[in-house]
């Protein structure tokens, strides 16, 4: 009987660890990455996400009837990146760092991008490189034609990973494919805690930096309930800050999107442009608005005069 207030609602259906059992979750969205309302597959063939406008519109899952073409993709795990297996889906994906690949379903999904078929209007392959926290940079690609995710070469990427281990921040910069975007210096940090104090970073973590086209910020928060059923304590917080390089800047979702379930769970994803703009979600969101103001106001002045 819980409720929340926002401009959009969601309901999602996905499998649990128990075979044949599905989990239904309902809640609120703000600035969702979905461009279109309704129910569609969410990356996986057994995961459905519905987005809607209106009070209590997230009552049930009603799948859209729109037909989508299928493409054949390479399907390999990180343990066997050079396998010969294939699958059929709506689009293909590949982790260029590990060789893991497979099929995607529903709107094309790439971190910090809008989820819309329009992402493939001008090119059939889009890639990003992410450096987040202490991990090595990873390059993710999605594409829309048959067997388009077969570029991976295991020996080449072994040499790439050796370079990344010694020059992690620089390797992210060198992997840039769109040189028209100025590079930003960003926080490169990962924190996980069972305490709400995770939202204020340690000195050591805040001293880490990376360089890329955009800065990114992601956070999750879980709360526990007391005997009266009310959320009263944050018991798990995680944050990821880092850099992102892109091959196409057309459909990047600048600013912050938020997903939450009453007062129990909160998930935030932000992309921003500006040095050290990813210190927290408020800074990332305000950096985006300032950028819009700096671009729009001079244009309006020149138009008027």
- Residue-wise pLDDT tens digits, 18-48: 988 999 999 999 999 998 899 999 999 999 9
Residue pair 211/183 in contact (Cβ under 8 Å)? The answer is: yes
DSSP state of 263: T
Q: Residue 246: which of 125, 82, 78 has the closest Cα?
A: 125
Question: Reduced to 3 states, what is the DSSP secondary structure of residue 168?
Answer: helix
Concatenating the DSSP letter of every residue in 67-115 gives: ----EEEE-B-SSSTT---EEEESEEEEETTT--EEEEBSS---TTB-B
Q: Kindly give the pairing relationship between strand 91-95 and strand 138-143.
A: antiparallel
The predicted structure's pLDDT at residue 255: 95
Is the pLDDT confidence value at 119 over 70?
Answer: yes
Confidence of residue 63 (pLDDT cuts 50, 70, 90): confident
Query: Which of the residue ranges 26-35, 55-64, 203-212 would you say has the lowest mean pLDDT?
Result: 203-212
pLDDT in tens, 1-15: 678 899 899 999 999
Enter the tokens of residue 27: 């809640």
Condensed to tens digits (0 to 9), the pLDDT of residues 99-110 reads 899 999 999 999
What pLDDT sits at residue 132? 85
What span, in angstroms and rounded, lies between the C-alpha atoms of 16 and 23?
Answer: 6
Residue 88 has pLDDT above 60, yes or no: yes
Give the Cα separation of 149 and 168 in Å (integer). Answer: 25
Percent share of the chain, pLDDT over 70: 76
Q: Which of 158, 301, 177 is nearest to 245 (CA)?
A: 177
pLDDT of residue 60: 86
Tokens of 130: 């992410």
Cα–Cα distance, 179 to 171 (Å, whole number): 15
CB 190 within 8 A of CB 134: yes
Residue with tokens 């526990």: 224
232, 225 Cβ separation under 8 angstroms:
yes
Residue 190 exposed, middle or buried by CB count within 10 Å (0-12, 13-18, 19+): middle
Q: Which residues contact 251 (CB under 8 A, 6 or more apart)?
A: 113, 114, 116, 118, 119
Angstrom distance (rounded) from CA 39 to CA 170 = 41
Residues 6+ away with beta carbon under 8 Å from 10: 26, 27, 28, 29, 32, 49, 50, 51, 52, 58, 259
Q: What is the pLDDT of residue 41?
A: 94
Contact 122, 251 (CB under 8 A): no
Alpha helices in the chain (DSSP H): 154-166, 168-174, 203-206, 281-304
Residue 12 to residue 20: CA distance in whole angstroms: 16
Strand partners, 50: 11, 39
Cα gap 12→46, rounded to integer Å: 11
User: Which is more confident, 285 or 294?
Assistant: 285
Q: Which of 21-35, 46-60, 283-297 has the lowest mean pLDDT?
A: 283-297
Question: What does the mean pLDDT of the chain come to?
Answer: 82
Q: What are phi and psi of 88, to 5 degrees?
A: -120, 125
The sign of the torsion formed by the CA atoms of 134, 135, 136, 140 equals negative
Which pLDDT does position 162 carry in this prediction?
A: 46
């Amino acid at each position: 009987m819980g409720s929340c207030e926002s401009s959009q609602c969601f309901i999602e259906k996905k499998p649990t660890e128990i075979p044949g059992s599905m989990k239904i979750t309902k809640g609120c969205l703000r600035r969702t990455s979905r461009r279109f309302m309704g129910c569609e597959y969410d990356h996986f063939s057994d995961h459905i996400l519905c987005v809607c406008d209106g009070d209590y519109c997230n009552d049930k899952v009603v799948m859209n009837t729109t037909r989508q073409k299928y493409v054949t993709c390479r399907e390999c795990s990180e343990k066997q990146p050079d396998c010969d297996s294939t699958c059929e889906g709506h689009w293909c994906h590949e982790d260029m760092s590990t060789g893991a690949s497979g099929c995607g379903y529903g709107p094309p999904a790439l971190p910090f991008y809008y989820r819309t078929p329009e992402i493939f209007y001008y090119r059939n392959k889009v890639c990003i490189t992410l450096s987040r926290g202490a991990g090595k940079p990873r390059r993710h690609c999605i594409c829309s034609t048959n067997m388009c995710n077969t570029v991976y070469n295991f020996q080449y990427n072994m040499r790439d990973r050796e370079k990344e281990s010694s020059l992690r921040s620089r390797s992210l910069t060198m992997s840039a494919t769109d040189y028209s975007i100025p590079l930003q210096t960003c926080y490169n940090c990962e924190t996980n805690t069972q305490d709400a104090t995770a939202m204020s970073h340690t000195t050591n973590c805040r001293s880490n930096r990376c360089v890329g086209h955009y800065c990114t910020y992601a956070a999750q928060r879980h709360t526990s309930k007391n005997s009266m059923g009310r959320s009263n304590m944050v018991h798990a917080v995680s944050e990821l800050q880092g850099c992102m390089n892109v091959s196409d800047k057309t459909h990047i979702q600048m600013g912050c999107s938020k997903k939450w379930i009453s007062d129990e769970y909160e998930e935030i994803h932000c992309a921003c442009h500006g040095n050290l703009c990813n210190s927290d979600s408020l800074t990332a969101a305000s950096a985006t608005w300032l950028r819009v103001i700096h671009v729009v106001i001079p244009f309006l002045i020149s138009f008027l005069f």
